Structure 1
Amino acid sequence: MAASLASLSVDQRRLLEQWLPGVQVVRDHAWGLVDNVVLEVEADQQGYIVKADGASTNHIGRELDAHEQWLSPWVDDGRAPRLIAGDRDVQILVTEYLPGELVLDSPAQRRPDTFRQAGRLLARLHAQGGRRDSTYEARENTKILANLDKPHRIEPVLEAGLRRIVSSWPSGPVQVVPTHGDWQPRNWLIHDGEVRVIDFGRAALRPVLTDWVRLEAKDFRQDSAIERAFVDGYGSDPREPDVWLRERLREAINTAVWAHLVGDEEFEAQGHSMIDRALADAPA
């Protein structure tokens, strides 16, 4: 057994070896910030990706939901990997290996056409249908206030102001649709000029703008042509000011708090900048 498989639990290794006899590890793709496992492996001369959750992560169930309910149009077009096997109880899944170069930090990240394609792909995901959710806003508001109770480095005066803002937000029903949950270049591949999508561990039913906020935090600010191309690909611009502010501030606060908890100072600083920019751009 390859040493890298030691990061899997006994039950996870048992299932993996049943699904892929003779499996060998090719490369570890995990980011290293949480206790999940992402391995590129090979079995019978075929490439696969193995994902598994540790004790503190809960991505596998959501990723399986996405594969089972929403990804067929992308998979059929070769834009997302095909699910091979998965087990919610043991928290492990296997997909086919999807060829491509990661868009993050590649020349493709600077090309508007990459974002135009990403906009089209996202619109296709969002268009699969949704429902009205009468509890989403209240849940998210409660979550933000709970996150502000955790250790962080947001200044006390600013924190108090953020608590007042969040407490004033509405809690009525909103439309939710299938979302990726981490829509940005680190989860896109480019292959023969075609954008492909990976990593569905945060997939869930949410408002459409939750898939826009991570692009606004960085890529849109680096090049306005990228933003225009993404909007063009998506087909419309759903950023209504009050709703957009709520989603941006939620993302910013979550980023600043989570990054502090995991010790990622660069990402934490980005979260603080996101808070400042969202407040500066707030409707009068």
Structure 2
Amino acid sequence: MGLTDRQRELLTSWLPSAEIVQDHSWGVIGTLVLELVQDGDRYIAKAGDEADHHLARELRAHREWLHPWTSRGRAPQLVHADPDAKLLLTRYLPGQLVQGSPYEWTADTYHQAGELLAAFHQQSAVPDAEYEAIENGKTLSDLAGAHRIDPELTERLHAIITAWPTPPATLVPTHGDWQPRNWLIDHGTVRVIDLGRADLRPAYTDLARLAAQQFRTEPTLDPAFIEGYGKDPREPAAWARTRLREAVATAVWAYQVGEEAFEQQGHRMIAEALAEPAL
């Protein structure tokens, strides 16, 4: 995928003499992430393809929810955006990726990440009587699609999910992909990137990916995170439901995009979620 003609026109109008110096795109989904330099200043441009639905979420996060982070230099500042063209431009945020670095396994990283997430979550809270039913529907739709979950297990999962209660939920601004691949570390300070999955959800959903990965590998990171966050938001029954939904979504999505290692993680997550006593 490359930039569309309209995206190129907009970038040229925003940064007339900029040079693209690095492509940070992930390569699995159709989003380009380009680092540009103009007059010594560095920027990040994000460009979505026709199927993209992440840029709108990211732009909403920049416009409505990022102040607790940007006011402290902990998230990138928006410079320009065109939602119709699926293009946004932010100032470059310095730091190295936490994932794959020694900081991925240090308690202070997670204490800071907990503090940052608490400030993000505490901005607003809205009740939603339909959230649980809608999320159940998404998981059942995943199970009805293409995947490699065993047929007998698929039937069992379907039965479990259709029997779940659907109590009201409280929704807050969430990052949606809260994990070290979306954190930077700069001289000991944690910063946040990639708001493409930001949306209103229950607070505990932002802990699901950490629980399946880093908290599982190094259990001491979980209490460090909660100490920074302030109070554990994981009510046992709701947490068990979200872990199973996340597990199914991981296995199905990874299969559909050909990420076999991630797919296997999804199958392992399903087994572990089913072992939850609250399920």
TM-score interval, normalised by the smaller of the two chains: over 0.9
Residue 246 (1) aligns with residue 233 (2): no
- Aligned-pair identity (%): 52
Q: What is residue 35 of structure 2 aligned with on the other side? A: 40
Which of 46, 61, 66 pairs up with 1:66? 61
Residue 128 (1) aligns with residue 123 (2): yes
Structure 1 residue 150: Cα displacement: 1.2
Offset from partner CA, 1:11-33 (integer Å, 9 cap, x none): 11111111111121111111110
Residue 31 (1) aligns with residue 26 (2): yes
2:220 match: secondary structure: helix
Structure 1 residue 131: Cα displacement: 0.4
Offset from partner CA, 1:117-168 (integer Å, 9 cap, x none): 0000001100001201122111111111111111101001111010011111
Give 2:159's aligned amino acid.
R
Offset from partner CA, 1:156-192 (integer Å, 9 cap, x none): 1111010011111222321000000000000000001
TM-score (norm 1): 0.96
Q: What is residue 49 of structure 1 aligned with on the other side? A: 44
Which of 247, 250, 271 pairs up with 2:266? 271
Q: What is residue 177 of structure 2 aligned with on the other side? A: 182
Which of 151, 167, 171 pairs up with 1:172? 167
1:205 match: secondary structure: strand
Q: What is residue 77 of structure 1 aligned with on the other side? A: 72
Q: What is residue 231 of structure 1 aligned with on the other side? A: 226
Which of 191, 198, 202 pairs up with 2:197? 202
Structure 1 residue 283: Cα displacement: 2.2
Structure 1 residue 76: Cα displacement: 1.1
Give 2:151's aligned amino acid.
P
Measured in 2, the distance between the counterparts of 1:131 and 1:171 equals: 16
1:26 match: secondary structure: strand
1:90 match: secondary structure: coil
Measured in 1, the distance between the counterparts of 2:29 and 2:120 equals: 27
Measured in 1, the distance between the counterparts of 2:212 and 2:195 equals: 20
Q: What is residue 109 of structure 1 aligned with on the other side? A: 104
Bigger shift: 186-195 or 52-61? 52-61
Residue 160 (1) aligns with residue 160 (2): no
Which of 119, 124, 145 pairs up with 2:114? 119
Unpaired runs of 5+ in structure 1? Answer: 1-5
Measured in 1, the distance between the counterparts of 2:278 and 2:165 equals: 16
Give 2:119's aligned amino acid.
R
Q: What is residue 3 of structure 1 aligned with on the other side? A: none
Q: What is residue 209 of structure 2 aligned with on the other side? A: 214
Measured in 2, the distance between the counterparts of 1:243 and 1:283 equals: 9
2:185 match: secondary structure: strand
Offset from partner CA, 1:31-64 (integer Å, 9 cap, x none): 1101111111112221000001112221111101
Structure 1 residue 238: Cα displacement: 1.7
Measured in 2, the distance between the counterparts of 1:57 and 1:246 equals: 27
Give 1:152's aligned amino acid.
H
Unpaired runs of 5+ in structure 2? Answer: none
Bigger shift: 163-172 or 203-212? 163-172
Measured in 2, the distance between the counterparts of 1:257 and 1:53 equals: 22
2:43 match: secondary structure: strand
Q: What is residue 81 of structure 2 aligned with on the other side? A: 86
Which of 243, 250, 261 pairs up with 1:255? 250
- Where in structure 1 do 4 or more consecutive aligned residues deviate above 3 Å? none
